[in-house]
Amino acid sequence: MKLGLENFLEHHVNEYKGKRIGLVTNMTGVDHRLTPTIDLFHQHPDIRLTALFGPEHGLRGDAKEGAKVGNEVDPKTGLPVYSLYSETRIPSKEMLEDVDVVFFDLQDIGARYYTFIYTMANVMEACGTCGKEFVVLDRPNPINGVQVEGNLVESGFTSFVGQYPLPNRHGLTIGELAHWFKHEGHISCDLRVIEMTGWKREQYFDQTDLFWVQPTPNTTTMDMMLLYPGTCLIEGTTLSEGRGTTKPFEYIGAPCIDGYDLAKRINQTNIPSIIARPVSFVPTYQKHMNERCEGVQLHITDRRRLKSFSTGLKVIETIAELYPKEFAFREKNEEGLDFFNLLAGTDRLKDMITNGKVDDFLEECEELSAAFNKEAIKYHCY
């Protein structure tokens, strides 16, 4: 297969000769040989790279989740690096002043909470306002482009972890999402997607011939990414989602939990393709930092039968039932925002979890995700 990056360099460079290029990327922007897109552009005789833009975690991926990143000068190229995860998340007119075309080359992981996709949407809006062309160098959806799961973000619950009405597992590549944002999100911009060749929708990332470069510190393994559309919701509770361990979003626990009891109960619920194993862990940061937690690691037995979103909800519901006094959702922040509701895209899910009605919610979600998928097919490139 060939990435959008590689197809661009092989077939389309001459179309942009002489134009000033801005590049939104990070360490995941690499070719098959792991050469960074930054280097490929900066060293190319026919590409005039004038500015770099970094998403959450920064251009080099060394900032923690949620940490604001400042503007800087890239020490390797001497180019200005504009942060799109600071006081502003939309490039200003001044940031785009020395740019004619903005290229976007970032690896997404297939879940609606992932902020890179909204960075893309925001840059698309800015390009539309400033009259700049926007070019996406497409990359695979690592958890395949077939399975779609979850509810849609409702009005009043949009945020940078759910800026548009997407399902939790959207089944689109980054380039297909750009088409969706342009047409369904009503973003007026001059959009071009340089497609991949040789990628098939049913493929997982480890079925390609690409090396995996993790786009964020906690994006560790295939299992993590497959579970993430469901287990990310644990971030909105007082449970540890395994941040600060070697198995984020695979480990789930808290100091109050008995790991053996929890694993037994989860396994009795017969969640498709999941076996829970009791674990003990001590998070090095985030929730329950330096406290001994017990809980489970979720192991996937058949990823093609796995229902990521359903798995996360069923696990949370089981813990809420076993530990009704200890289980809690995170409190609203100083701005009055309820993080669980923003992740969930609704304020109805909390009650359904605590009242044991997750199955009812999942039934609704099947209809919503099926309807989304039916409409999204027209944006499929593969």
34 within some domain: yes
- The DSSP string of 296-333 is EEEEES-TTT--HHHHHHHHHHHHHHH-TTT--BPPP-
The tokens describing 314, both together, are 């069923």
Query: From the centroid of its chain, how far is CA 62?
Result: 17
Backbone angles phi, psi at 287, to 5 degrees: -60, 140
User: Does one domain contain both 172 and 286?
Assistant: no
Strand, coil or helix: 61? coil
Q: How far apart are CA 153 and CA 346, in angstroms?
A: 7
Cβ atoms < 10 Å from Cβ of 256? 17
User: Does one domain contain both 234 and 88?
Assistant: no
74 within some domain: yes
72 within some domain: yes
- How many distinct structural domains can be found in the chain? 2
The answer on pLDDT for 327 being more than 90 is yes
Query: From the centroid of its chain, how far is CA 298?
Result: 20
User: Does one domain contain both 317 and 192?
Assistant: no
User: Does one domain contain both 98 and 126?
Assistant: yes
For residue 229, give Cα distances in angstroms to 62, 149, 243, 298, 346. Answer: 23, 8, 16, 14, 15
**What's the pLDDT score for residue 251?**
98
303 within some domain: yes
118 within some domain: yes
The answer on pLDDT for 58 being more than 90 is no
Q: Is 43 exposed, middle or buried (0-12, 13-18, 19+ CB in 10 A)?
A: exposed
User: Does one domain contain both 186 and 55?
Assistant: yes
The predicted-structure confidence for 11-43, as pLDDT tens digits, reads as follows: 999 999 999 999 999 999 999 999 999 999 999
Q: Is beta strand 133-137 parallel, antiparallel or unpaired with respect to 190-194?
A: parallel
The predicted-structure confidence for 90-128, as pLDDT tens digits, reads as follows: 999 999 999 999 999 999 999 999 999 999 999 999 999
Interacting residues of 174 by C-beta distance below 8 A, sequence separation 6+: 104, 106, 107, 108, 116, 117, 120, 136, 138, 139, 141
**What's the pLDDT score for residue 335?**
81
Mean pLDDT taken over the chain: 96
C-alpha neighbours within 13 Å on the C-beta side of residue 135 = 23
Query: From the centroid of its chain, how far is CA 114?
Result: 2
Strand order, beta sheet including 293-300? 251-254, 293-300, 274-281
pLDDT bracket for residue 195 (50, 70, 90): very high
77 within some domain: yes
Percent of the chain past pLDDT 90, that is, above it, reads 95
Identify which of 161, 24, 128 has the alpha carbon closest to the alpha carbon of residue 83.
Answer: 24
Domain, as residue range, for 123: 4-214+374-379
How many residues in total does the chain contain?
382
User: Does one domain contain both 77 and 180?
Assistant: yes
User: Does one domain contain both 180 and 260?
Assistant: no
- The distance in angstroms from the start CA to the end CA of the chain is 12
**What's the pLDDT score for residue 5?**
98
The tokens describing 223, both together, are 């299992």
- The mean pLDDT value for 183-209 works out to 98
The predicted-structure confidence for 339-369, as pLDDT tens digits, reads as follows: 999 999 999 999 999 999 999 999 999 999 9
The answer on pLDDT for 189 being more than 90 is yes
Interacting residues of 132 by C-beta distance below 8 A, sequence separation 6+: 22, 96, 99, 100, 101, 102, 126, 189, 190
368 within some domain: no
**What's the pLDDT score for residue 164?**
98
User: Does one domain contain both 171 and 235?
Assistant: no
Q: How far apart are CA 298 and CA 59, in angstroms?
A: 31
Q: How far apart are CA 103 and CA 123, in angstroms?
A: 10
Q: How far apart are CA 90 and CA 59, in angstroms?
A: 16
Q: Hey, CA dihedral for 240, 243, 246, 250, is it positive or negative?
A: positive
Identify which of 84, 249, 104, 89 has the alpha carbon closest to the alpha carbon of residue 173.
Answer: 104
Q: How far apart are CA 191 and CA 206, in angstroms?
A: 29
User: Does one domain contain both 181 and 275?
Assistant: no
Instruction: Residue 139: give its domain's CATH number.
Output: 3.40.50.12170
pLDDT bracket for residue 135 (50, 70, 90): very high
The predicted-structure confidence for 259-272, as pLDDT tens digits, reads as follows: 999 999 999 999 99
Query: From the centroid of its chain, how far is CA 130?
Result: 27
pLDDT bracket for residue 294 (50, 70, 90): very high
Percent of the chain past pLDDT 70, that is, above it, reads 100
159 within some domain: yes
User: Does one domain contain both 85 and 207?
Assistant: yes
**What's the pLDDT score for residue 62?**
82
C-alpha neighbours within 13 Å on the C-beta side of residue 281 = 28
Q: What is the pTM of this model?
A: 0.96
User: Does one domain contain both 68 and 187?
Assistant: yes
Interacting residues of 90 by C-beta distance below 8 A, sequence separation 6+: 84, 122, 123, 125, 126
Instruction: Residue 267: give its domain's CATH number.
Output: 3.90.1150.140
**What's the pLDDT score for residue 65?**
85
User: Does one domain contain both 203 and 244?
Assistant: no
